[in-house]
Amino acid sequence: MLIKTENLTKVYKNEGIEVHALKGVNLEIAEGEMVSILGPSGSGKSTLLNCLSGIDSPTSGKVIIDGVDITTLSDDRLTEFRAKYMGFIFQFFNLIPVLNAVENVELPLLIQGYSEKDAREAAEEMLIEVGLKDRMKNFPNMLSGGEAQRVAIARALVTKPKIVWADEPTGALDTKTGMNIMNLIQELNEKNNQTFVIVTHDPRITEYTQKTFEMDSGILRLKSSND
C-alpha cells in the first residue's frame, strides 16, 4: 500500500474543551488509485488530509507513506519527504499573483534546486499537458477560474510526485468548469499512474474516483458500491 493509516486520532483542545476531529481512522490507498473523501463541513475530512500529508500532526496513530511512518520524521526530513512525494491542489488555487503562469509552475522545481533552464522547460511541458499552451505568460488575474486551477494542477504535478492531495479542487468553480477540471485530473491519473486523494463535499466528484471514503464526525468508512 502506498498510503496507510493505523488508528489515527486528532484531538483539538480549546479553552478546556476537547474536540475529537479524527476518531481511530484506518485506511489503505494503493499506488495509482484515485480516491475521494466525502463529507460535510466540519466532518474532519480536511483534518485527515492535513495529517495524511504531514501538514498537521495526529494526536496518536500512524501515517505510513510508501513504508515510511511520517509521524516519526523530523521537521526537516518531513519537508524533504513531502517535496519528493507530494503535490498539492487547493480550492482557491494559491497562485502567486506577481508571477505569471509558467513562473508559478516552475517555482517548486527552482526550490528543489533545478536549473532555471530545466525548470522552465518542465513547467512549459506541464502547462501544455493541461491545455494552457497559450496562457503561459498570463498572470493569475488574467486567467479564468478554470485556467487558474489548471495552472495549480500543473504546479502540483511538475515535480512528478507519487501522491497529489486535492482539497475541494472544484469548490471555487461553477459546475461545468468543475467537471472539466475533474475530467483533466482523471486523465492525468490514468496517464501518469499518480495517486490522487480528493477531499470534497460534492457527491458528483465521487463519480470520477475508483474508491470513496465517507467522513462523518471524525469517523471514516469505505463506501461500498451498494450504498
Burial 78-96 (b: 16+ CB within 10 A, else e): beebbeebbbbbbbebebe
Each domain of the chain, given as residue ranges in start order, spans: 32-58+73-222
Looking up cell 512549459 gives: 124
Which pTM value belongs to this model?
A: 0.90
Average pLDDT, the chain: 91
What is the tens place of the pLDDT at every residue in 80-139? 899 889 999 887 778 999 999 999 999 999 988 999 999 999 999 999 988 899 999 999
Give CA–CA dist 165/31, Å, rounded: 13
Q: Is the pLDDT of residue 41 over 90?
A: no
Give CA–CA dist 88/155, Å, rounded: 8
| Lowest-pLDDT range of 5-14, 100-109, 166-175, 218-227 | 218-227
**Left if phi > 0, otherwise alpha if psi is -120 to 50, otherwise beta: which for 217?**
left
Q: What residues have CB less than 8 Å from 47, skipping those under 6 apart?
A: 10, 21, 22, 56
| Answer CATH for 32-58+73-222 from 3.40.50.1000, 3.40.50.300, 3.20.20.10, 3.90.470.10 | 3.40.50.300
Q: Is the pLDDT of residue 4 over 90?
A: yes
Give CA–CA dist 96/30, Å, rounded: 33
Looking up cell 470520477 gives: 208
- The kind and range of the H/E element at 106 are helix 101-111
What is the tens place of the pLDDT at every residue in 167-198? 988 887 788 888 888 998 999 899 889 999 99
